[in-house]
């Protein structure tokens, strides 16, 4: 009878030890995924900031063109330029 109890206790101990290692592995993996997510968030925020800056520069450039030409509507600017030339001019600034 004591052998059965010992085998049961030993089996429980081994199972508990394996599960503990697995929990540690999962915690390590979770930390790694959280770190990678934080890196992606930082990259996304950086990209959004660059896009916003680019949009601001483009808006300022278009406003400058409109002012220089005495125009009040973007459609009028587009009529003055070939669409491809206008896109190139905006992208250069």
Digitized pLDDT (tens) for each residue of the chain, 93 residues in all: 688 888 888 888 899 899 999 999 999 999 999 999 999 999 998 988 888 888 888 888 887 877 777 765 555 555 555 666 666 666 665
Residue 78 CB coordination number (10 Å)? 14
pLDDT for res 1 = 62
Can you give the residue range of the structural domain that contains 21?
2-92
pLDDT for res 55 = 86
The conformation of residue 78, written as its DSSP 8-state character, comes to: H
How many structural domains compose the chain?
1
DSSP 8-74: HHHHHHHHHHHHHHHHHHHHHHHHHHHHHHHHHHHHHHHHHHHHHHHHHHHHHHHHHHHHHHT---H
pLDDT for res 27 = 95
pLDDT for res 60 = 84
Q: Name which of 74, 70, 73, 71 is nearest 86 in CA terms.
A: 74
pLDDT for res 69 = 73
pLDDT for res 73 = 56
- Torsion angles phi and psi, residue 71, rounded to 5: -100, 155
The answer to pTM > 0.75 is no
């Amino acid at each position: 009878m004591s052998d059965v109890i010992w085998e049961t206790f030993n089996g429980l101990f081994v199972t508990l030890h394996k599960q503990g290692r697995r929990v540690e592995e999962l915690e390590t993996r979770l930390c790694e995924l959280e770190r990678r997510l934080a890196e992606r968030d930082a990259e996304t925020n950086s990209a959004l900031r660059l896009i916003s800056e680019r949009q601001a520069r483009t808006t300022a450039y278009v406003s400058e063109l409109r002012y220089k030409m005495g125009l009040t509507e973007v459609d009028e600017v587009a009529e003055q330029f070939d669409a491809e030339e206008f896109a190139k001019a905006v992208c250069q600034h």
